[in-house]
Amino acid sequence: YCGKVFAEAVPALASMPVSDPKYQTNSFLIVPVFARMEGLGGSQRPIGTLCVTDKRNGQPFDENDEELLSVFASQVGVALQNARLFEKATVDTLTKLFTRQFFFARLEEEVASAHQQNAPLCAIMGDLDHFHDINKHGHHVGDVVLSSSAAVFRQRILMTGGLSGRYGGEEFVAMMPGVSLARGQKIAEEVRAKLEALSLVLDGKKIPVTISL
């Protein structure tokens, strides 16, 4: 049912019980969630659906419920679109790390907060070793190494509640509010060891990955 609503971009309202081998309900309502398409005159396309089923009071859904859920779905669509636009503006497409501009804007805020609270803030700069040699295997190989390495870096920094960004071509940067220098050094060593243990075989060749932090 959701697939049909998504494909046809038209709400589905069932006020009577539905008995289907895959879906049984006394009443359900499904509405499409729309987002505006960029570069096509602001036209809309469905990006998902919202489905509600079986009211707690046992009453069937009606046209008033459909109108209310459609209004809610439009707000969901706007929120998702805004989130998508925010991500496009602040997240590097290849590495999924924050862009340099966004990262350093946030870093200024966190440094000011650390000074105010007299709290530690640790920063890490990472540079993949011999990346130009890796690129000699082909830029597609370099892209895989960058994205794989960035994923390891980002996931470990996220565990601290910190933020990571792409500083340059093969350079990563991170900030970890509340993290001391000693702990930061241990985290950097963990990242270094995990990247060294990364087993990447591309185009039949094993690509060693190391990083200086």
Integer angstrom CA distances of residue 192 from 2, 87, 134, 178: 46, 27, 17, 21
Give me the residues paired with residue 202 across strands.
205
Secondary structure letter of residue 199 according to DSSP:
-
Q: Which residue out of 63, 170, 189, 196 is catalytically annotated?
A: 170
DSSP 102-126: HHHHHHHHHHHHHHHHT--EEEEEE
* Closest alpha carbon to 85 in 50, 43, 36: 36
Of the chain, the end-to-end C-alpha distance in Å amounts to 52
Distance CA 200, CA 137 (A): 13
Instruction: Based on the residue annotation, tell me whether 109 is a catalytic residue of this protein.
Output: no
Give me the residues paired with residue 53 across strands.
28
**Any idea which residues carry the catalytic annotation?**
170
